[in-house]
A and B are shown apart, each in its own frame.
Chain A
């Protein structure tokens, strides 16, 4: 085996501008899809909890489909299959200096819709975790449903939602690789393009793996801060998992430190 170390170091630390563009695309798409997915998921969760039966049923159907089919299939379906069926074709949108290619739009849409299905369930569980006495107190003070949701229930649901939300974003950073199949030049596709011109498969996959690992590690640190701030109240901060446990999983981390139980 020959591992070209100088090549490896070069692409790890002095990436081409196309490669950096891929990294940017990965990051931006992850952030947008996660944000849109979270907002849509919030509305879906509220809809499922509402007393309107047909709406709840509709949302359950949506969740059923998007959690029950592979994300890769959803991406290809939305971009390629819809166009092939003559139903809808994504075209480049130009917004002044910024132009958004059709495949990026389709990728974002698929990632967002998929994420919304997962976030809907997470947020619904978070809302249900808030003691019903809180709603009663809010009602007794003359608050409407919307006001009590916004001011009383959702802020308290946040501490149940933020830890899994962090995990979802970690997954999102990696799931964006799937949009490479519809030609979005994110990090993975940029790597593959580089491979086709250099043929250094092993080195470049090592580089891209390290890039993703760096992204998720940095995110893990942000997540830890977020959870310390919002996820848990001060009184139970002592039981929150530390950064190391977060990163390596609690069992492994304890084992590594020689702890048992």
Chain B
């Protein structure tokens, strides 16, 4: 993959704030996974989160749509507190129904695709728009076919997930998330479970999405993608953000020793070997 940076429109510093995470803390028992992580993402920005395994980057992204509870800090998405309500200065976990409502605007793409196995590609895509948003099926279907065309799978509408390759499944999963017309897309290592020859097709779809101005937070080991598409790269280690900045800065002139070590390992290996 080319490491030449394409001209990316730098995100407007005045653009509205989509994600505002402040001092996020999360632990499992005594094991502290996130030790005060703060991040602001503006509309149209693409933020790529990198870092060694166990650094908490996946956990952090999963907190942004309340797939994980947090023990401290607060997360605002589109100006609304995610997963919690504030009652007399204290945060109380929100009701399931309102959490579900908040998640409608936040798309998520998983490492293992998680397509619904008992539904076709188009069935996967229209399920939530029809059942959650109440959009008429014909309308949802038309939009779904359009999305499938956009991810290059117009001919696979009636295929079941098991009939599709990993790369195709992940592209359907992206289309499924887009069908909800989200204002923010979260990607949790979207290419880590893919065979090498399929990574490119998924990244291509993600680049296209970034070019269209989607706000994205991407956990990824794809440095080429980060260089080319990211407005900002965030380096995490040991549950904290070690440094962040535009890709040129992070990749060419990292300030932190942890970042240098991590990058040299990644770049010497070509790509971090798949884990988990």
- Residue numbers of A with Cβ under 8 A of B are 131, 133-134, 136-145, 147, 151-152, 155-156, 233, 235
CA distance A131 to B116 in the complex (A): 10
Interface bits B152-185 vs A (CB < 8 Å: 1, else 0): 0000000000100000000001001100100000
Q: Find chain B residues with CB under 8 A from A235 CB.
A: 162
Residue in A137, A142, A143 whose beta carbon sits within 8 Å of that of B114 in the complex: A137
Most chain B C-beta atoms within 10 Å of own C-beta, residue among A137, A138, A151: A137
Residue positions of B touching A, CB distance < 8 A: 65, 67, 96-97, 100-104, 106-108, 110, 112-118, 127-128, 131-133, 162, 173, 176-177, 180
Residues A141 and B176 in contact, CB atoms below 8 Å apart: yes
CB-based contact A137/B110 at 8 Å: yes
Q: Is the CB of A151 within 8 A of B127?
A: yes
Give the chain A neighbours of B133 by CB distance below 8 A.
142
Chain B residues with CB under 8 A of A140: 65, 67, 103, 106-108, 110, 177
- How far apart are the CA atoms of A57 and B209 in the complex, in Å? 49
Most buried by A among B113, B127, B177: B127
Residues of B within 8 A of A142 (CB): 100-104, 128, 132-133, 180
List chain A residues, Cβ under 8 A from B127.
Answer: 141, 151-152
Q: Which residues on the B side are within 8 Å of A137 (C-beta)? A: 108, 110, 114-116, 173, 176
Distance in angstroms between the alpha carbons of A3 and B177 in the assembled complex: 73
The residue from B106, B110, B176, B180 contacting A136, defined by CB atoms under 8 A apart: B110
B173 neighbours in A (Cβ, 8 Å)? 137
A143 touches B131 (CB 8 A): yes
Known: A143-B100, A144-B97. 5 other contacts (CB 8 A): A137-B115, A137-B173, A139-B67, A139-B103, A143-B132
Q: What are 8 A-B residue pairs whose CB atoms fall within 8 Å in the complex?
A: A134-B117, A136-B114, A138-B116, A140-B108, A141-B104, A141-B127, A142-B100, A156-B118
Write the nearest CB–CB distance from A85 to chain B, whole angstroms.
Answer: 43
Chain B residues contacting A147 (CB-CB under 8 Å) are 131-132
A152-B162 in contact (CB<8A)? no
Judging by beta carbons under 8 Å apart, are B110 and A141 in contact? no
The interface residues of chain B lying within 8 Å CB-to-CB of A133 are: 110, 112-114
Q: Which residues of A contact B65 (CB under 8 A)?
A: 140
Whether A152 pairs with B116 at a CB distance below 8 angstroms is yes
Once bound together, how far apart are the Cα atoms of A233 and B118, in whole Å?
Answer: 9
B180 neighbours in A (Cβ, 8 Å): 141-142
Chain A contacts for B162, CB-based, 8 A: 233, 235
5 closest residue pairs by CB, A with B: A142-B104, A141-B128, A137-B114, A133-B114, A140-B108
- Chain A residues positioned under 8 Å from B131 (CB to CB): 143, 147, 151
Whole-angstrom CA separation of A138 from B104 in the bound complex: 11
Closest CB of chain B to A157's CB: distance in Å? Answer: 10
For B113, list chain A residues within 8 Å (CB). Answer: 133
Please indicate the chain B residues that have their CB under 8 angstroms from the CB of A141 in the complex: 103-104, 127-128, 132, 176-177, 180
Distance in angstroms from A176 CB to nearest chain B CB is 34
B65: nearest chain-A partner, CB-CB: A140
Residue among A140, A143, A152 with most chain B CB within 10 A: A140
Whole-angstrom CA separation of A138 from B101 in the bound complex: 12
Residue of B nearest to A142 (CB): B104
Residue numbers in A under 8 Å from B101 (CB-CB): 142
